[in-house]
Every structure is written in structure tokens, then in C-alpha cells.
Amino acid sequence: MQPYYLGPLIFKAEVSDQVVDWLLTDAENQRLDKRYQIRELLAGHIEEEYDNSFSAVDYLTMNCNQIFDQYLNHLSHCVDENPEGNPQRWRITSAWTNFMKSGEFNPPHKHGPVGASFVLYLDVPTLLQEEQNDHKGKSEPPGSINFLHSGINTCGYTFTPKTGDILVFPSSLAHSVWPYRSDCERVSLAGNVEFN
């Protein structure tokens, strides 16, 4: 029996602390060299956004291969007989790190017409998690990511991520990130994947 999907496929998984720590260290190194600042190329109202190193892209490819393979399998409604990572099926075409601070946000935007995008949360501070837990009202929690899907009725999917969460979704899916007030910095690594 073929599975049926209502709306866009948003895939959530977790990566190990070791992977998070390695990528966070690499991102901090990129941050030290202002040549890697790419803020003017991105949609975010975020002061510090840096291109990731080639080493980080290679590291992501090696350590997140099963996640991207699983996403591709679900997307094509099939089960791969070889669940081990196969980088020939996909490749990461771009990756950058956002160092988001109080009051900063990402307005609704898309990453492109084809392929997939992802966001991996490298550091979600406890202070922000407490602000999210204390949130009252009908709006999305501070610091959450909201996916906007238009069908018969416009609807959204909201995630309040924690450190180590990775979300993979169609590049054509509009999404936004809500601001927060806590005096802390949240670090997330985003990027795009092209499928062969």
C-alpha cells in the first residue's frame, strides 16, 4: 500500500551531541573571520549570519546522511533497500549559521523552487526555553519556526526546537522564525539539499 501525505513533508530528527559540538565549534571559527559574513544574501533580520566551511558541509554529509536518505525515501514514497547513506542521491549545495539574538527574526520566505532545505539547532539556551514555556496567548511561541502551507485553507505547522533537532522540508515551503525577548543567543545551521 502506498502512503499518502496531506500537505508538505516536514521531517524531524535529532543529531548527536558530538555532531552538534563539532558544528558549533566550526561555526564559531567562521564567525571570527568577517569575510564569511553573508547577511546581505539572506532573508533574516539577523545581525550575524555566516557561511559554513567546506569542512562543515563534508561533516554534515557524513554525519546526517541517513536523515537526508530517509527524507528522500519518504518523499518518493519508497523504501531504500540500502539504508546506509548514499551521497550520490543528494548533495548539500549551501549551508550557513545564524547567531540569533533578542528581537531578531526571519520573515516569511522560501529557499527555492526545488529540492529540500534544513535547519539544525546547535544551541537553544535554557533562558529561551523558559520564555517559550511561559508564553501566553494564541500566537506562536517566541523563537519558534512556523511553516506556512497554502491549500484549500492556509494553515501552518509550528515547531519549538531544542538543541540537536533537525528539520528537513521542501525548499518551496514558506517559513518564518518568531523573535524572542530573552537576553541570549540561539545558534542554528540552515542549508539546502539538491536531490539527484
Give pLDDT, residue 2. 46
How much is the pTM?
A: 0.88
Q: What is the pLDDT of residues 102-116, one digit of tens each?
A: 999 999 999 987 789
> The domain that contains 166 carries what CATH number?
2.60.120.620
Q: Is 151 contained in some domain?
A: yes
Q: Which residue has the cell 539527484?
A: 196
CB burial class (10 A; 0-12, 13-18, 19+) of residue 186?
Answer: buried
Tell me which amino acid residue 14 is. E
Q: Is 1 contained in some domain?
A: no
Q: Which residues contact 124 (CB under 8 A, 6 or more apart)?
A: 143, 161, 162, 163, 186
Residue 149 binned pLDDT confidence (cut-offs 50, 70, 90): confident
Cell of 1: 500500500
Q: What is the pLDDT of residues 10-43, one digit of tens each?
A: 889 999 999 999 999 999 999 999 889 999 999 9
Buried residues in 58-96 as b, exposed as e (16+ CB within 10 A): ebbbebbbebbbbbbeebeeeeeeeeebeeebbebebbb
Q: What's the whole-number mean pLDDT along residues 39-62?
A: 95
Q: What's the whole-number mean pLDDT along residues 128-148?
A: 90
Q: Is 6 contained in some domain?
A: no
Number of domains in the chain: 1
Nearest residue to 104 via CA among 34, 177, 24? 177
Stronger pLDDT, 61 or 4, i.e. the higher one = 61
Residue 183 binned pLDDT confidence (cut-offs 50, 70, 90): very high
Q: Is 37 contained in some domain?
A: yes
Range of the domain at 157: 11-195
Q: Is 3 contained in some domain?
A: no
Q: What is the pLDDT of residues 60-118, one digit of tens each?
A: 999 999 999 888 888 765 444 444 545 467 899 999 999 999 999 999 999 987 789 99
Give pLDDT, residue 77. 55
Is residue 42 a contact partner of residue 96, using CB atoms and an 8 Å limit? yes
Distance between CA 113 and CA 52 in Å, rounded?
22
| Half-sphere exposure (Cβ direction) of 29: Cα atoms closer than 13 Å | 11
Distance between CA 123 and CA 92 in Å, rounded?
21
Q: Is 58 contained in some domain?
A: yes
Ramachandran assignment for 115, one of left (phi > 0), alpha (psi -120 to 50 degrees), beta (any other): left
Q: Is 5 contained in some domain?
A: no
